[in-house]
């Protein structure tokens, strides 16, 4: 979903994956997996990658797309907060992009995932996290489309009594990583450019969730209102083609 233009330099600074075993947290559609594959090819690195997601929906497609691009590619369905299949001190680099706020749908689960990252990393191993920056309110003038999109997605989740993702502020993440024993934690904020097509696809998925169980809510006006708000936003995003969102990259060492 995410196309990062401004952060690329910071992301790859001091990050050499040659001969390394990398754990990727949150495969999803494989956007980050593909970005890593491109970098590996460009640099001629020999890299082994284990990508973990709780949901294996896109695994076949990604395996086919990235066949032969890594020294070894393993896609594994598992909960990042319980990496039982992995020994201690085996991973050189953990890369976890836009996934912690999803793990954080359930309070404390993101902390458990970070603790697992610490356990499986070798001493001196690197942790790289890219995340969305939390915003205080929908009136955020710097990121109007982003905040409206969050309002729609989260409100629909609440209406359906579903868990929704919770962004973590880098200050809180920095402190938590310190408690877990990570060192040299540093982060940089940046403006992420999001492609409207991907964003509207996600909004449409939420609209379908709302419509599917239309009787759950037992209030036609509420459902109709949210469908209207969602469709209006989709139209605006389509016209805008892309929009910006607040994000950050955080790095730490075990
Ligand atoms: C926004 S997507 C990841 C995006 C992807 N990393 C990228 O850069 O495009 C978040 C992913 O986290 C996964 N996820 C949520 N909770 C998880 C957990 N506890 N363990 C493993 N994966 C989880 C979801 O299934 C989803 O695929």
Q: What is the pLDDT along the chain (254 residues), one digit of tens a residue?
A: 455 556 888 899 999 999 999 999 999 999 999 999 999 999 999 999 999 999 999 999 999 999 999 999 999 999 999 999 999 999 999 999 999 999 999 999 999 999 999 999 999 999 999 999 998 777 767 888 999 999 899 998 888 888 988 999 999 999 999 999 999 999 999 988 888 988 888 899 888 888 886 677 778 888 889 999 999 999 999 999 999 999 999 999 99
DSSP 8-state symbol, 72: E
Dist. CA 109–CA 46, nearest whole Å? 32
Ligand 1 pocket member 131 (CB < 6 A) = no
Predicted pLDDT of residue 238: 93
- Relative to beta strand 21-25, strand 48-53 is parallel
The answer to whether 247 and 4 have CB atoms below 8 angstroms apart is yes
Query: Would the CB of 192 count as within 6 Å of ligand 1?
Result: no
Count other Cβ atoms within 10 Å, centred on residue 13: 10
Helix ranges restricted to H, 6-80: 8-12, 31-43, 59-65
Sign of CA dihedral 8, 9, 13, 18: positive
CATH number of 57's domain: 3.40.50.150
Question: In angstroms, what is the span from residue 44 Cα to ligand 1's centroid?
Answer: 28
Q: 128 C-alpha vs ligand 1 centroid, how far in Å?
A: 15
Q: For the chain, what is the domain count?
A: 1
Write down the pLDDT at residue 51.
98
Residue 56 belongs to what domain range?
A: 2-253
Cα 245 from Cα 235, distance rounded (Å): 18
Distance 89 CA to ligand 1 centre (A): 23
Which one, of 100, 219, 69, lies nearest residue 165 by Cα? 100
pLDDT at 102: 95
CA of 131 to the centre of ligand 1 (A): 12
For residue 55, which phi and psi values (nearest 5 degrees)?
-120, 120
Q: Which of 38, 54, 84, 192 to mutate to test the pocket of ligand 1 (most atoms within 8 A of CB)?
A: 54
pLDDT at 93: 98
Please tell me the predicted confidence (pLDDT) of residue 1.
47
Burial 185-221 (b: 16+ CB within 10 A, else e): bebbebebebebeebbeebeebbeebeeeeeeeeeee
28 lines ligand 1 (CB under 6 A): yes
């Amino acid at each position: 979903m995410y196309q990062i233009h401004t952060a690329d330099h910071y992301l790859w600074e001091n990050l050499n994956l040659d001969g390394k075993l990398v754990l990727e947290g949150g495969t999803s559609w494989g956007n980050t997996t593909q970005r890593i594959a491109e970098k590996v090819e460009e640099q001629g690195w020999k890299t082994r990658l284990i990508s973990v997601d709780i949901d294996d929906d896109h695994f076949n497609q990604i395996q086919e797309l990235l066949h032969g691009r890594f020294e070894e590619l393993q896609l594994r369905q598992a909960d990042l907060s319980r990496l039982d299949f992995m020994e201690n001190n085996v991973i050189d680099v953990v890369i976890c992009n836009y996934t912690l706020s999803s793990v954080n749908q359930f309070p404390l689960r993101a902390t458990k995932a970070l603790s697992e990252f610490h356990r499986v990393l070798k001493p001196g191993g690197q942790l790289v996290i890219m995340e969305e920056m939390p915003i205080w309110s929908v009136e955020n003038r710097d990121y109007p489309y982003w905040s409206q999109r969050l309002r729609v997605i989260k409100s629909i989740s609440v209406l359906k009594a579903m868990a929704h993702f919770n962004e973590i502020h880098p200050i809180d993440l920095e402190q938590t990583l310190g408690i877990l024993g990570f060192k040299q934690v540093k982060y940089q904020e940046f403006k992420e450019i999001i492609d409207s097509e991907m964003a509207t696809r996600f909004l449409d998925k939420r609209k379908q969730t709302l419509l599917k169980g239309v009787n759950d809510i037992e209030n036609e006006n509420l459902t109709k209102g949210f469908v209207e708000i969602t469709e209006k936003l989709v139209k605006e995003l389509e016209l805008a083609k892309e929009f910006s969102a607040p994000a950050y990259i955080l790095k730490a060492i075990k």
